[in-house]
Structure 1
Amino acid sequence: MTTALEHQGPDPAADERAALIGRWAQRHGIDAARRLAEAEDLADAVAAEITPDNTVDTYAKSWRVWERFCTATGLPTTEGSRGALVAFVTWMLREGQTSGRGYAPASAGTHLAAAVVGLRQRGHHVSGDDQAAARTALEGLTVKLLKAGERRGRGQAVGADIDGLYAIARSCPPTLAGLRDQALVLTGFHYASRASEPAGLLTGDVTLHPAGMQIAVLTGKTKHSVRNAKIRYSQDPEVCPVRAWTAYRDRLVAEHGEAWAGPSTPAFVGIDRWGRVTGGMVPDSVTRAVKRISQRAEVPLHWTGHSLRIGLASTARKRGRDGIAIADQGGWARHSRSMLGYMQREDGWDDNASAGLT
């Protein structure tokens, strides 16, 4: 009778770890090898602890895509050869989604990178040359799709703008939920928030100052770090993020008690249709809220969870703000390609080689 362990087959990662411990024992003795193994376990635990949840989710989703590909093609999940990886990206563009449709090239690229990580984490070798070959194939196939007139993906999100902020401020009802919505958008715009960032804020992360407010933003797209974004009082109280924040928080405490004033409580809370607080917001609820809020305000192009981030970069650039100051406020690297791309939305009209020629 085959046991469950036998059915699972060998574990390359476990075998590699056992071989490594054996080499340590030969070099340093059994006790030292045991301590080195414990240090490796600690390193693995720390890596897992500091890896952002969205990154973990992406790796898991992409591994499931890799498994579906291997099932569909009859290839083993344990081999990331050049041919297998090229076949993987081809399959993804052709029919990889569960609906039978092809993925957008950007999504295929994400799944390729994450699948390679998954293979290596499981102890399976993937060479850099083989991964590069798959990436080259993906780029070439993407060009062919474009030449054939096929466009996939949602495209870049629309950026928030000042007119939209005014429309939103005027459309929010004078309820706790309305004040929350106003504070969420106005503060988020001014520190270029991702959807995950207001969801992760605690009340203690926001500090009032005579000049405005400071928000300690925990970021974790590529690594965990904290940036301290300063937001000044606006000249116009109607769209002032500091006043919107204080009005929302005062109303929350007045209606639901002093417990919500504690520094460890969520900065932005979910509120149901009956006005009951349901706990802290999560990234998906922030994204849905921004879309809903912009729809209610009848913003011509509905915003997404990334619109506030794009809007800060493009609007600040249009108003002549320094690129380094914009990068520091939004937590971008100072020469971030994504930030420069957002700025180009404005620069591309004025700082343009064809402007004024005729």
Structure 2
Amino acid sequence: MDGAVESTRHVTPEVYAAWVARHGTEVADRLAAAETLADAAAADSVPPNTTDTYTKGWKVWQRFCTEQNMPETEGTRGALVAYVLWLLDRGQSTPGPNGPRGYAPASAHSHLTAAVVGLRDRGHPVTKDAHSEARARLESAATRIAKTGERRGRGKAHAADLDNLHRIADACDDTQTGLRDKALVLTGFHFASRASEVAHLMLVDITSHARGIKVAIVAGKTRRSVRTVAIPYNNDEPAICAARAWLHWLDAYGATNPTAPAFPRIDRWGHIGDAMAPDSVTAAVTRIAQRSGVPIRWTGHSLRSGLATEGRKNGKDSILIADQGGWARNSKAMLEYMQTADEWDDNAAAGLRRPPKGGR
């Protein structure tokens, strides 16, 4: 292969030699360069949090291969099934009080996906059949675990609700930290934020308008979650108005650089630092809720599930909710949040009564 052309998983020496034979070296070099450009474009389109998840998941695959004396370059049907069973049985690196601990099924699924992506990215083929069988074995094992009554992981995040948003708004004081915390929670709730989306917001991304604020989410996890949404002033419930909370925080913040983080770190002495990391946003939401007396544990994802749940309770159309939160309009996750809101009122068993006499 020409010295200026790097071998990639798409351009192996065999592929390059075939191009040379058909088109000559100059054209083969241009085709190889185009493949390198396509690889770079594909990598650039993957959100940072997804890349981080894949990186961590690959390390779990490497740990499995080392422990089981398996080659990490082989994603065979048997290896992937063995990996799934290992993940569920003893995959966690830190043992519990009773010995080795397995991952929750959702975490095991993420690690399986990361291993398959990692293998393919490194030029080691994984067939769809092998991946499908491993997923099937994972789902079957997860069902058996559920039947035993065992609960792994923290489960789904509790959805933020309006009553507890009022608790938080009342508890946040007028210090810079209090104003930032209030703005972070209320703004994040009103655009159904992920922690990573809040972490990547800059001042330039949040703009004031006559009827509220607009938030440009440019670090979305999917194509649909890259969006610009409006958050109107809430004149009915001004205490939890995100637009007002943002403007109060912006005034106290005093930053003028448009690339400054919208929600920076603030230490115990009131010194403002750089942008919060996604994990820091999640920890902040939990801390703010606990400090405010919220009786259930909130995480960063509570804000996301909360808008879908409360929006549904308030009769908002599912399409409007999907667009605000950056969900696909038939998103399974969003529909599950809405089902939480509907399970008592919009219920097939609710309000059953006998028909009037003489009626059918």
TM-score by length of 2: 0.91
| Cα displacement (A) at 1:15 | 9.5
Distance across 1 between alignment mates of 2:225 and 2:342: 30
Letter aligned with residue 83 of structure 1: G
Distance across 2 between alignment mates of 1:345 and 1:219: 28
- Note if contact 1:92-1:102 (Cα within 8 Å) is conserved in structure 2: yes
1:9-62 alpha-carbon deviations (Å, 9 max, x no partner):
xx9956962221111111111001111111111222222222211111111111
**Alignment RMSD:** 1.7
| Cα displacement (A) at 1:302 | 2.0
- Note if contact 2:160-2:303 (Cα within 8 Å) is conserved in structure 1: yes
Matched, 1:95 2:90: yes
| Cα displacement (A) at 1:237 | 2.5
Distance across 2 between alignment mates of 1:225 and 1:269: 22
Letter aligned with residue 40 of structure 1: E
Matched, 1:289 2:284: yes
- Note if contact 2:224-2:328 (Cα within 8 Å) is conserved in structure 1: no
| Cα displacement (A) at 1:223 | 4.0
Matched, 1:280 2:275: yes
Partner of 1:6: none
Letter aligned with residue 338 of structure 2: M
Greater shift, 152-161 or 231-240, is seen at 231-240
- Note if contact 1:192-1:329 (Cα within 8 Å) is conserved in structure 2: yes
Distance across 2 between alignment mates of 1:62 and 1:224: 25
Matches within 5 A, 1:130-279: 130-223=130-223, 226-235=226-235, 236-253=237-254, 260-279=255-274
Letter aligned with residue 246 of structure 1: L
1:93-117 alpha-carbon deviations (Å, 9 max, x no partner):
1111112311111111111111011
Partner of 2:356: none
Distance across 1 between alignment mates of 2:73 and 2:198: 39
Find the residue that maps to 1:231 and give its secondary structure: strand
Q: 1:177 to 1:200 in 2, by over 3 A?
A: same
| Cα displacement (A) at 1:170 | 0.7
Letter aligned with residue 259 of structure 2: S
Partner of 2:74: 79
Choose which of 19, 32, 40 in structure 2 pairs with 1:37. Answer: 32
Letter aligned with residue 299 of structure 1: V
Q: 1:15 to 1:212 in 2, by over 3 A?
A: closer
Partner of 2:326: 331
1:196-234 alpha-carbon deviations (Å, 9 max, x no partner):
111111111111111111111124323486311101111
Distance across 1 between alignment mates of 2:188 and 2:55: 29
Letter aligned with residue 287 of structure 1: T
| Cα displacement (A) at 1:118 | 1.0
1:170-213 alpha-carbon deviations (Å, 9 max, x no partner):
10121011000011111111111111111111111111111111
Distance across 2 between alignment mates of 1:282 and 1:122: 28
Choose which of 304, 308, 326 in structure 1 pairs with 2:303. Answer: 308
Partner of 1:22: 17
- Bigger share in helix: 1
Q: 1:322 to 1:23 in 2, by over 3 A?
A: same
- Note if contact 1:196-1:283 (Cα within 8 Å) is conserved in structure 2: yes
Letter aligned with residue 39 of structure 1: A
Partner of 1:49: 44
1:134-193 alpha-carbon deviations (Å, 9 max, x no partner):
111111111111222212121110011111111001101210110000111111111111
Distance across 1 between alignment mates of 2:234 and 2:329: 26
- Note if contact 1:12-1:122 (Cα within 8 Å) is conserved in structure 2: no
Distance across 1 between alignment mates of 2:220 and 2:201: 13
| Cα displacement (A) at 1:282 | 1.7
- Note if contact 1:97-1:103 (Cα within 8 Å) is conserved in structure 2: yes
Unaligned residue ranges in structure 2 (runs of 5+): 1-5, 95-99, 354-360
Find the residue that maps to 1:174 and give its secondary structure: coil
Choose which of 340, 351, 360 in structure 2 pairs with 1:356. Answer: 351
Partner of 1:107: 107
Percentage of matched positions with identical amino acids: 55
Q: 1:272 to 1:182 in 2, by over 3 A?
A: same
Find the residue that maps to 2:150 and give its secondary structure: coil
Partner of 2:3: none
Distance across 2 between alignment mates of 1:12 and 1:46: 17
- Note if contact 2:195-2:281 (Cα within 8 Å) is conserved in structure 1: yes
Q: 1:137 to 1:287 in 2, by over 3 A?
A: same
Count of residues in correspondence between the two structures: 342
Distance across 2 between alignment mates of 1:140 and 1:12: 40
Q: 1:224 to 1:202 in 2, by over 3 A?
A: farther
| Cα displacement (A) at 1:343 | 0.5
Letter aligned with residue 244 of structure 1: A
Partner of 2:128: 128
Distance across 1 between alignment mates of 2:9 and 2:240: 57
